[in-house]
C-alpha cells in the first residue's frame, strides 16, 4: 500500500507544495527531509506541515487535509496501515475512526493497535461468516478449528445485530465490542513496531527511567538523528543504548558492548552486513571468531574485507579440511572414482601448516591478506568518538 501526501508550509504558502511518498522509502528519506527543511518545515517534533491532500487507499485520512501534521508521525501511521494484511482490518480502522470520531494523529496511530477489537459488517448476505468473523474478533483473532466447527455462526450474527448497537459508517456497520483505545503512543515515543525486518534492534533513552525510543538498523542517517531528538537526547553523553536483538551471528553479538559502542558505527556495520549473502554472513561469524575484534568498527572492517579470508564450513580437523579442499572448494577436479587414493589428512595438514588458519566452532578460517589482522581492523578510537559526536550533534541543529 502506497500513499502520497501533498504538503506545504502554512506560514509560507509561497514556497509551494511538496509531495511525499508514504511510507517513505529508506533510500529517499534523507533527501525528502532535506527538501522539507529547505521549505522551513519537517521538524522532528512539531506538526509544522500542512496536509493539502492525501491520496491512497484510506479515504478516512482525508480528515487530515487542511490540518498541521508531523512528517514522522505521518510516516509511522502509513507503515502501520501498510502492515494490515486483510481488507477487514482496513474496514475496522476506518469504521472505528468514524464511530469514535477520531481525527487527531495520536489517536489514529493508537487506533491501529486497537481497531482489531471492533466488528465491522460489510456484507450481510452471509450471516454464517459474519458470526464466525465476530467470534474471531472477540477471541483476539484466534480460534481453533474445533471451536469454529462447533460455532453457530448464523445465531451469533443474529445476536450481534439484535443488540442494536451498530453504527452505520461508509465502511460498514461498526460494533465496538467495548473497544478501549490503546495508549501506546504518547505523542513523542513511537511504539515498538517492525515494519521491515531489521538487522539490529536497539532502544535509546535519555535516562534509565525515561521512555524508550526504538531504533531499527540499518536506517537513514537523518532518521537516526531525528529519533534522538524525539528521545530528548540533547547531550550525546546522556544517551543510553540497549541491545534488544539482532540477526547477526552470535560471535558478532558477543563483540558489541552498548555501553561503549558508537551509534554511527553500529549503523555502518549494519549497512555493511546488509550487502552480504546468507552464506557470507555465516562466514563473517567464523571470521569474527578467528580475528577477535573488539568493536563494531573492527567487525565492519572484517565484513568489508571478507574476500581476504577463506572459510571451510564444518571443518574441525586436518582430514576434514583436506577432504573439503579436494572435494568442495572448487580448486580441483575431484574424481570420486579415486576417492580411496586421496590422502586427505596429509593434504589438509600441509595446507594448515602453510596458512595462518584456525579451527573455530563453525569451521576453519584462514587469512591471506597483505596487512596484519591488527592493521586490517585498525581504526582510530579518537576519530570514531569525534565522528559520533558530530553525527549526533548534527541532529540537534
Asked, for residue 193, whether it belongs to a domain, the answer is no
What order of strands is seen across the sheet that includes strand 68-69?
A: 17-22, 3-8, 49-55, 68-69
DSSP of 15-43: G-EEEEEESPPHHHHHHHHHHHHHTT---
Total of domains in the chain: 4
Question: 164 and 106 in one domain?
Answer: yes
Last residue of a domain, one of 116, 140, 175: 175
| CB 355, CB 381: distance < 8 Å | no
Omega within 30 of 0 (cis) for the link into 218 = yes
Asked, for residue 385, whether it belongs to a domain, the answer is no
Per-residue confidence (pLDDT) for residue 145, from 0 to 100: 85
Per-residue confidence (pLDDT) for residue 381, from 0 to 100: 46
Question: 354 and 272 in one domain?
Answer: no
* Residue 291: closest CA among 369, 367, 355, 353: 367
Question: 64 and 118 in one domain?
Answer: no
Angle at 252 (CA atoms; ends 246, 255), nearest 5 degrees: 110
* Residue 120: closest CA among 173, 54, 165: 173
Q: Kindly give the parts of the chain with pLDDT less than 70.
A: 1, 330, 332-342, 344, 379-397
Three-state DSSP class for residue 127: helix
Asked, for residue 181, whether it belongs to a domain, the answer is no
Per-residue confidence (pLDDT) for residue 214, from 0 to 100: 96
Burial label for 45, CB within 10 Å (0-12, 13-18, 19+), is middle
Question: 158 and 128 in one domain?
Answer: yes
Asked, for residue 115, whether it belongs to a domain, the answer is yes
Question: 70 and 15 in one domain?
Answer: yes
Question: 267 and 331 in one domain?
Answer: no
Last residue of a domain, one of 304, 336, 362: 304
| CB 396, CB 237: distance < 8 Å | no
Asked, for residue 252, whether it belongs to a domain, the answer is yes
Asked, for residue 271, whether it belongs to a domain, the answer is yes
Question: 300 and 318 in one domain?
Answer: no
Question: 234 and 284 in one domain?
Answer: yes
Last residue of a domain, one of 261, 281, 304: 304
Question: 13 and 43 in one domain?
Answer: yes
Per-residue confidence (pLDDT) for residue 362, from 0 to 100: 92
**How many other CB atoms sit within 10 Å of the CB of residue 343?**
12
| CB 142, CB 75: distance < 8 Å | no
Percent of the residues in the chain that have a pLDDT greater than 90, as a whole number: 74
Q: What is the mean pLDDT of the chain?
A: 90
Residue-range definition of the domain harbouring residue 346: 307-376
Question: 34 and 71 in one domain?
Answer: yes
* Residue 286: closest CA among 268, 306, 272: 306
d(CA 295, CA 14): 49
Question: 215 and 286 in one domain?
Answer: yes
Asked, for residue 219, whether it belongs to a domain, the answer is yes
Question: 207 and 296 in one domain?
Answer: yes
Amino acid at each position: 500500500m502506497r500513499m502520497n501526501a501533498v504538503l506545504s508550509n502554512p506560514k509560507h504558502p509561497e514556497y509551494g507544495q511538496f509531495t511525499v511518498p508514504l511510507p517513505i522509502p529508506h533510500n529517499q528519506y534523507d533527501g525528502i527531509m532535506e527538501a522539507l527543511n529547505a521549505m522551513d518545515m519537517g521538524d522532528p517534533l512539531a506538526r509544522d506541515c500542512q496536509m493539502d491532500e492525501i491520496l491512497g487507499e484510506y479515504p478516512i485520512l482525508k480528515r487530515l487535509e487542511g490540518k498541521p501534521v508531523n512528517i514522522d508521525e505521518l510516516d509511522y501511521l502509513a507503515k502501520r496501515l501498510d502492515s494490515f494484511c486483510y481488507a477487514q482490518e482496513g474496514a475496522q480502522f476506518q469504521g472505528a475512526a468514524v464511530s469514535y470520531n477520531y481525527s487527531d494523529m495520536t489517536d489514529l496511530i493508537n487506533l491501529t493497535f486497537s481497531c482489531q477489537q471492533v466488528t465491522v459488517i460489510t456484507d450481510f448476505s452471509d450471516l454464517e461468516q459474519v458470526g464466525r468473523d465476530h467470534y474471531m474478533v472477540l477471541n483476539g483473532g484466534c480460534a481453533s478449528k474445533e471451536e469454529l466447527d462447533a460455532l453457530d455462526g448464523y445465531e451469533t450474527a443474529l445476536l450481534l445485530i439484535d443488540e442494536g448497537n451498530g453504527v452505520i459508517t461508509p465502511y460498514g456497520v461498526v460494533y465496538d465490542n467495548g473497544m478501549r483505545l490503546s495508549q501506546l503512543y504518547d505523542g513523542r515515543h513511537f511504539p515498538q513496531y517492525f515494519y521491515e525486518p531489521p538487522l539490529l534492534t536497539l532502544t535509546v533513552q535519555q535516562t534509565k527511567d525515561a521512555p524508550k525510543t526504538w531504533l531499527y538498523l540499518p536506517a537513514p542517517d537523518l532518521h537516526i538523528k531525528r529519533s534522538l531528538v524525539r528521545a530528548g537526547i540533547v547531550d550525546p553523553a546522556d544517551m543510553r543504548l540497549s541491545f534488544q536483538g539482532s540477526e547477526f551471528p552470535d560471535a558478532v553479538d558477543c563483540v558489541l558492548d552498548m555501553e561503549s559502542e558508537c551509534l554511527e558505527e553500529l549503523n555502518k556495520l549494519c549497512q555493511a552486513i546488509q550487502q552480504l549473502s546468507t552464506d557470507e554472513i555465516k562466514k563473517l561469524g567464523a571470521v569474527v571468531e578467528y580475528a577477535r575484534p573488539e568493536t563494531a568498527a573492527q567487525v565492519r572492517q572484517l565484513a568489508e574485507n571478507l574476500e581476504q579470508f577463506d572459510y571451510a564450513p564444518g571443518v574441525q580437523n586436518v582430514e576434514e579440511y583436506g577432504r573439503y579442499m579436494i572435494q568442495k572448494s572448487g580448486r580441483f577436479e575431484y574424481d570420486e572414482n579415486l576417492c580411496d587414493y586421496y590422502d586427505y589428512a596429509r593434504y589438509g595438514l600441509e595446507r594448515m601448516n602453510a596458512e595462518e588458519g584456525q579451527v573455530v566452532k563453525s569451521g576453519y578460517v584462514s587469512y591471506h591478506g597483505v596487512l596484519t589482522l591488527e592493521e586490517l581492523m585498525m581504526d582510530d578510537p579518537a576519530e570514531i568518538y569525534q565522528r559520533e559526536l558530530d553525527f549526533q550533534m548534527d541532529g540537534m541543529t
